[in-house]
Homo-oligomer: A and B are copies of this chain.
Amino acid sequence: MGKNAVGGLDHVGIAVHDADAAIPYYRDVLGFDLVGDEIADAPGVRLVYFDAGNALIQLVQPVRDDAPVAMWLTAHPEGLHHVCFRSDDLRQCERQLNGGGESAIFRAGRGDDAFFLDAEPNNVKIEIVGPRAG
């Protein structure tokens, strides 16, 4: 791993109650291509992806009441939820940034694995995605 712990910006996550209601602004007004729409079972969310050219915009809609983002949405209005960077070596990156405890890696969208940083600098939730193992 070089100087940077993480590589480029993968996506910006926006927490919403209803992705179907949110899609038209991003697709029809801003004109982004909708490039993904899937359920990620582990975090309990529907993930809708728009291609902004150099990065993705992700709508995150909870599909279970115990999903972390469902609980977040009980305490916050819809809005910017997290920023996600990419790593080529997710496990090393997790050890480097979160220390050597139990791994918090989960199955994320688009065939990637991911984890969230324990640190939330300036209250910013930071996710790291990388290739799925195994």
Using a CB–CB cutoff of 8 Å, the interface residues on chain A facing chain B are 2-9, 12, 14-16, 22, 25-26, 29-32, 52-55, 57, 59, 77-83, 85, 97, 119, 121-124, 126
Q: Which residue of B lies closest to A15 (CB)?
A: B122
CB-based contact A9/B9 at 8 Å:
yes
Q: How far is the CA of A8 from the CA of B31 in the complex (A)?
A: 11
Interface centre among A2, A6, A78, A124 (most CB of B within 10 A): A124
Contacting pair B12 A31 (CB below 8 A): no
* Selected A-B contacts with CB under 8 Å, 8 pairs: A3-B31, A4-B30, A5-B30, A29-B97, A54-B54, A54-B55, A78-B122, A80-B82
B52 pairs with A9, CB closer than 8 A? yes
Measured in the bound complex, the distance between the Cα atoms of B53 and A7 in whole Å is: 7
- Closest B residue, CB atoms, query A121: B25
**Do B79 and A26 have beta carbons less than 8 Å apart?**
no
Q: CB distance B6 to A31 under 8 Å?
A: yes
Q: Which 7 interchain pairs have the tightest Cβ spacing? A: A8-B53, A4-B31, A80-B80, A79-B123, A25-B121, A8-B54, A78-B122
Alpha-carbon distance between A78 and B97 when the two chains are bound, in angstroms = 21
